[in-house]
Structure 1
Amino acid sequence: MDDEGPNPQEKLLVIVEDDAAFARTLKRSFERRGYCVLTADSQAALLTILEQHHPKYAVVDLKLGAESGLVCVQALHAHDARMLIIVLTGFASIATAVEAIKLGASHYLAKPSNTDDIEAAFARSAGDTSTPLAPRPTSIKTLEWEHIHEVLKDSDFNISETARRLGMHRRTLARKLAKRQVG
């Protein structure tokens, strides 16, 4: 967590990310764009920040070690319902995207996402009714990927419990999670 106090005139952003190198990179990139950036690596660190600061923007990693970033999304939205919250994840699924939006996220982006992607998502917070409703063919691999991530979310991101619920070996599940989603 950063101890520096932000200038209230600036665009205040909080980044909730447990990967220190990625958080540092995002922080520097946003600072170059005129944001004042605070970082937290857990829900506890975020709550400490929120005691003294009122960010207008937030970027939250979905998986914070053993914690779910969804809890942070909920805390941020409760702190200020107008805050623009972007969820980043390497574990994208329809189930977690829906939950993130229900809890107050503005957008949900799959990693790798960069500062341009995040800032564009901040700008699109109102939604777009002209988004095409083209049917998307769903493959078996996509359905499996989404089901695994739904069970993973339901078991609080516990790999062993998820594997048990899916009836597969923990190492098999770990291999499936390490693979990129196939569309």
Structure 2
Amino acid sequence: MTEHVSGATGEAVAQAFAQGDATLLIVDDDKPFLQRLARAMETRGFAVDTAESVEEAVVKARAKPPAFAVVDMRLGDGNGLDVISAIRDRRSDTRAVILTGYGNIATAVTAVKLGAVDYLSKPADADDIFAALTNTVGERAAPPENPMSADRVRWEHIQRVYEMCERNVSETARRLNMHRRTLQRILAKRAPR
């Protein structure tokens, strides 16, 4: 089960697996992403449970606090930090990672104070999330082999805001402080590499 884990980075997971507790709660309101990540983590040996809202996640965390958690910061019905807090109330040794498309220093500090072991910007891939969950205390994750280009990160952010605005070009352009026609040209192009 721990064949994907190497050296010291796998100690936390190896110990959890040895104790028979590799439970992982993934909380995200982006259903396709949630399903892909759940499958990827199951192949890495985790016993995965999922939730799409703060309310659902808090109920699951209180009923059976997981050994590991991956929680999106912004959910349709609230803040992912509430989920981290609910998990910590029941189990102080849970290794939690916060995912967000809205990275900022203040939120990262709050997440770490509540007990998150790492804070990753979306879109993070399964390898990055796995590394963050399994790093030993104080160990830094290795930089990604093929990080997204700045153009791709910008494109991903525009797409996320566009979806949040229910595909309304005018509203998206207003929120991004961008000219509407410029936004239309960006949306018409393929995603950069």
Superposition TM-score, scaled by structure 1 size: 0.65
Which residue among 39, 49, 65 is the counterpart of 1:38?
Answer: 49
Distance between the aligned counterparts of 1:98 and 1:127, measured in 2?
15
SS of the equivalent of 1:85 reads strand
Residue 149 of structure 2 is aligned to residue 117 of structure 1 = no
Residue 23, structure 1, aligned to residue 38, structure 2: no
Distance 1:80 1:69 in 2: 17
Aligned position for 1:167? none
- Measured after TM superposition, the shift of residue 34 of structure 1 is 1.1
User: 1:84 aligned to 2:95?
Assistant: yes
Residue 42 of structure 1: CA displacement?
A: 1.4
Report the counterpart of residue 103 of structure 1 in structure 2.
Answer: 114
Runs of at least 4 residues off by over 6 Å: 170-173
Give the secondary-structure state (helix, strand or coil) at the position aligned to 1:106.
strand
Q: Which moved more, 1:72-81 or 1:89-98?
A: 72-81
RMSD: 2.6
Gap regions ≥5 residues in structure 2: 1-18, 141-170, 184-193
Number of positions where the alignment pairs a residue of Structure 1 with one of Structure 2 = 133
| Amino acid aligned to 1:175 | L
Instruction: Specify which of 85, 90, 111 is matched with residue 74 of structure 1.
Output: 85
**Is the Cα contact below 8 Å between 2:21 and 2:67 reproduced in 1?**
no
2:176 and 2:77 map into 1 onto residues whose CA distance is 18
Counterpart of 2:11? none
- Paired residues of 1:15 and 1:37 also in contact (CA < 8 A): yes
**Are 1:127 and 2:128 matched, yes or no?**
no
Residue 125 of structure 1 and its aligned partner are, at CA, apart by 4.4
Distance across 2 between alignment mates of 1:91 and 1:176:
16
Gaps of 5+ in 1: 1-7, 130-169, 179-183
Counterpart for residue 153 of structure 1: none
Identical-residue share of aligned pairs (%): 37
CA distance 1:173–1:81, change in 2 (3 Å): farther
The alignment partner of 2:40 has SS state of: helix
The CA distance in 2 between the partners of 1:176 and 1:79, in whole Å, is 43
Query: Which position in structure 2 is the counterpart of 1:158?
Result: none
